[in-house]
Amino acid sequence: MDHFQYSGGMLHAEDVSVSEIAAQVGTPFYVYSAATLTRHFQLFSEALSPMPHLVCFAIKSLSNVAVLKLLGQLGAGMDVVSGGEYLRAKAAGVPGDRIVFSGVGKTRDEMRMALTGGIRQFNVESEPELLALSAVATELGTTAPIAIRVNPDVDAKTHEKIATGKSENKFGIPIAKARAAYAQAASLPGIKVVGVDVHIGSQLTDLAPFEAAFTKVRELALQLRADGHQITRLDLGGGLGIPYTRSNEAPPLPVDYGTMVKRVLGDLDVEIEIEPGRLISGNSGLLVSEVIYVKNGEGRDFLILDAAMNDLVRPSMYGAHHDIIPVIEGTPGSPTQPFDVVGPVCETGDTFAKGRDLPLLAAGDLVAFRSAGAYGAVMASEYNTRPLIPEVLVQGDQFAVIRARPTFDEIISRDSIPEWL
C-alpha cells in the first residue's frame, strides 16, 4: 500500500496534488510520502513483536537526511555501509547505539569514525577486516562490538546483481569457516563478539530462501554458544521484496516474515536485528517527469521524457520494471497505445520501458514512475551535466523540498582549471 492516489482526476501524494508540486519545483523530481514510510516501518516492527528487536533502515536505499530523521523519530536504527552514510545517520539525530556498520570494504578511517562517534556493532565480512578492526580499536583504547557476516550459500532466487548469499558472491565468511573466525575474534584485543549476521540478497519474493538461511544461522548460533561465545543478537539483514507491478507480484507480507522468524529463531533468547530498505522506502516514492516530445518512429512510437537514466538507473542497470502512470487520470475506456518510454541522454540504454501501453499523452503532460523511492535518488548521477533532481517530502497537506536542484553554475564551479592551462 502507498499514499499516492487519484482525487478529482489528479494524482495526489497524500493530500497534495502532484501537479501543484511540479508547478512549484519543476520536473523531474522525486516525491516521498511520510505516511507510507511510517506505515511500512511500523508493519515491520509490529511483525517481530513481542521478540526483542531493532529495525535498522538500510540507508543505501534512500539516504536523504529528512527521511532518516523521520524514521529515527519512530525508533528506527540505521544500517550503514560507508562513512558518509554513518554521518548522514548522525546528522539525522540517530544515536550511535542504533547504528550498524555493514559492508565488505570498511576502511580504518571509517572504523575510527564509528568507534569514536558511537556504534551498535560492526558486521565483519572477512578475516583481514577483523584484524584491522582489532588494531584500530586497540589503538583507540576501546572495544568494537561485532557480529560476523556468514555466507550461508543459499540461492536467494533474485536478480544476479543483487544476490549476496551464494558462495561465489563477495559477501561474508563461508559458514563452514565461521567457527574458526569466531575463535580468532575471541582471541583478539579490542573485539567483543555479540552476534551473528547474515544477508542473502535483495528483492526476494519468497520466504523459503530466508528460512533456509536462518535455519543455518540457528544451527551456527547454537554451536557458537557451545564453543563459549556470547551470542545475544542475530542480524538477519534485509531483502524482502515489494510489488513493482499492480498485477502479478505478491511478495510475502512483513507479518508472514515475522511469523517465520519467530518460528525458526524464537526460542534462542536473542535480540533480532533486521535491515529492510526497499520494503520501507520503495513504494513511498514517485519519480515525476514531463513529456518533452512524442516521436513517431519506424514501427514504434516514443515518449521522450525530461527524466533520464541518470535520474533513475534501475531500468537500464537491472532491466527493472516501474509502473508508469499519467498524473491526470484517464477516463475509463479511453484509448491507449504502446510507447517506448525514453529519456534525453545520449545512450540507447536510456530507456525506461519498451512497448508499454499508456494513454495518448502529449508534450507537456506529466507522468509518474511508481515504486521509485528505493535505489532512485541514491543512485542518481550528473551524467551529461544533468543536475541531480529535487527530492520532496509530503506529510498530509504540506510538502517541502528536502534536496534542492543545483544550478549549472554550482555544478561547473566544482571543477578547477590548473594554472598551467
As a whole number of angstroms, the distance between CA 330 and CA 359 comes to 7
CA distances from 283 to 17, 62, 68, 76, 130 (A): 18, 12, 16, 18, 37
Cis preceding-peptide flag for 50 (omega within 30 of 0) = yes
Coil/strand/helix, residue 234: strand
As given in the structure block, the three cell numbers for residue 113 are 569514525
Model confidence over 258-302: pLDDT tens digits?
999 999 999 999 999 999 999 999 999 999 999 999 999 888 999
Provide the CB-side half-sphere exposure for 139 (13 A, CA): 12
Identify the pLDDT of residue 249.
59
Q: Residue range 107-126: average pLDDT?
A: 97
84: left (phi over 0), alpha (psi -120 to 50) or beta: alpha
56 is catalytic: no
Coil/strand/helix, residue 240: strand
- The better pLDDT of the pair 5, 297 is held by 5
φ/ψ of residue 149, rounded to 5: -80, 120
Coil/strand/helix, residue 67: helix
Residue type, 195: G
Residue 162: pLDDT band (50, 70, 90) is very low
φ/ψ of residue 185, rounded to 5: -60, -40
Sequence-separated (6 or more) residues with CB below 8 Å from residue 248: none
Give every strand in the sheet of 16-17, ordered side by side: 4-7, 10-13, 16-17
* Mean pLDDT (the chain, rounded): 93
Identify the pLDDT of residue 171.
66
Q: Do domains 4-31+282-412 and 34-280 have the same CATH topology?
A: no
Identify the pLDDT of residue 169.
52
pTM above 0.85, yes or no: yes
pLDDT beyond 60 at 167: no
Residue 141: pLDDT band (50, 70, 90) is very high
Give the start-end residues of each E strand in 161-239: 173-174, 191-197, 233-235
415: left (phi over 0), alpha (psi -120 to 50) or beta: beta
Q: Would you say domain 4-31+282-412 falls under CATH 2.40.37.10?
A: yes
Find the DSSP H helices in 227-379. 254-265, 278-281, 314-318
Sequence-separated (6 or more) residues with CB below 8 Å from residue 97: 118, 119, 120
116: left (phi over 0), alpha (psi -120 to 50) or beta: alpha
Identify the pLDDT of residue 408.
98
Residue type, 214: F
As given in the structure block, the three cell numbers for residue 267 are 526460542
Please answer whether residues 14 and 374 qualify as being in contact, where contact means their C-beta atoms are separated by less than 8 angstroms.
no
pLDDT beyond 80 at 170: no
- The better pLDDT of the pair 154, 288 is held by 288
Cis preceding-peptide flag for 189 (omega within 30 of 0) = no
> Could you tell me which CATH class the domain 34-280 is placed in?
alpha beta
As a whole number of angstroms, the distance between CA 230 and CA 270 comes to 10
**Which among 114, 37, 116 is positioned nearest to 73, based on CA atoms?**
37
Total number of residues shown for the chain = 421
Residue type, 266: G
The residue annotated as part of the active site, out of 1, 226, 250, 346, is: 346
Domain range summary for the chain, segments of one domain joined by +: 4-31+282-412, 34-280
Please answer whether residues 60 and 38 qualify as being in contact, where contact means their C-beta atoms are separated by less than 8 angstroms.
no
As a whole number of angstroms, the distance between CA 311 and CA 391 comes to 11
Please answer whether residues 148 and 173 qualify as being in contact, where contact means their C-beta atoms are separated by less than 8 angstroms.
yes
Beta bridge partners of 146: 122, 193
Model confidence over 382-403: pLDDT tens digits?
999 999 999 999 999 999 999 9
